Amino acid sequence: MEDMIRKIIEVDKKARKITDDARSRRARSAEIIGKKKEEVRAEYMAIASRRLDVIRQDEMEQAAGRLEDVREREAQVSARLDAIAAEHRAAWVDELVLRAVGGESA
């Protein structure tokens, strides 16, 4: 009978060891998976950040190009308005003076 009790205790110890080992492996696996998950997440965030930097730079270059186009068009319009004003300045001044002093317009 004692022999049988010893065997039961021995089997129970082995079963507990197997269970403890399985729990330890499970905990280590969970830790490894957690670390791998963080590595993958960090790698993904780094890739996304680099992509955003490239997109941001491209957008800035495009915006600078569009701004330069707008400035060129503004300079052209301004030059045309200056030319028109210079061409008609004398007539406009005469018309304003005439209207101011009460004369008739041309």
Question: pTM of the prediction?
Answer: 0.52
Residue 106 has pLDDT above 60, yes or no: no
Q: pLDDT tens-digit profile of 53-66?
A: 999 999 999 999 99
User: Burial code of 17-46, b = ≥16 C-beta within 10 A, e = fewer?
Assistant: eeeeeeeeeeeeeeeeeeeeeeeeeeeeee
Q: pLDDT tens-digit profile of 11-24?
A: 999 999 999 999 99
Coil, strand, or helix at residue 103? Answer: coil
106 Cβ contact list (under 8 Å, min separation 6): 95, 98
